[in-house]
Amino acid sequence: MKKITELVAELAAPAAAEQGCTVWDVEYVGEAGQWYLRLYIDKDGGVDILDCEAISRKVSEALDQADPIEASYIFEVSSAGAERPLKRPSDFEKFMGAPVTLKTYQPRDGRKEFAGVLTGYENGSVRITVGANELVFTKQEIALVRLRIEF
């Protein structure tokens, strides 16, 4: 049986494609006693409110028909964001050479956050260049990797 997030991603993909967007991620999380179903979308040139509205309407209809979630929930559609988290191997491949922030579960050299350039990804391990140093982090060490905007 597929996870709710996988089912929602499949349901949402055609509606996103009609709008020139792609599904970046789906979250189904409980917060403060309420369930939230969040659909994150992406598009070359950026996502706007009209994209979110159009996709929200179409996906809401598809969710009502398919009814994959028994409990009540709040449905939200938004942009993946400029500082989006990287999760899948394809995310890392797409943004190779981009500035990232990597957070670890345990401190390394007294810190848990590293800002650098993404220079490698293999089997869940991430390589970033921080100044003149190249650092490699195993999948087990990594809490989060997200894009970083430099000003």
pLDDT tens by residue, 113-133: 999 999 999 999 999 999 999
- Which pLDDT belongs to residue 33? 93
Q: What is the DSSP string of 26-60?
A: EEEEEETTEEEEEEEEE-TT---HHHHHHHHHHHH
- Which pLDDT belongs to residue 1? 65
Residues of the chain with pLDDT under 50: none
The three-class DSSP label of residue 78 is strand
CATH topology of domain 89-147: SH3 type barrels. (2.30.30)
Domain at 4-79, CATH homologous superfamily: RimP-like superfamily, N-terminal (3.30.300.70)
- Do the beta carbons of residue 121 and residue 92 sit within 8 Å? yes
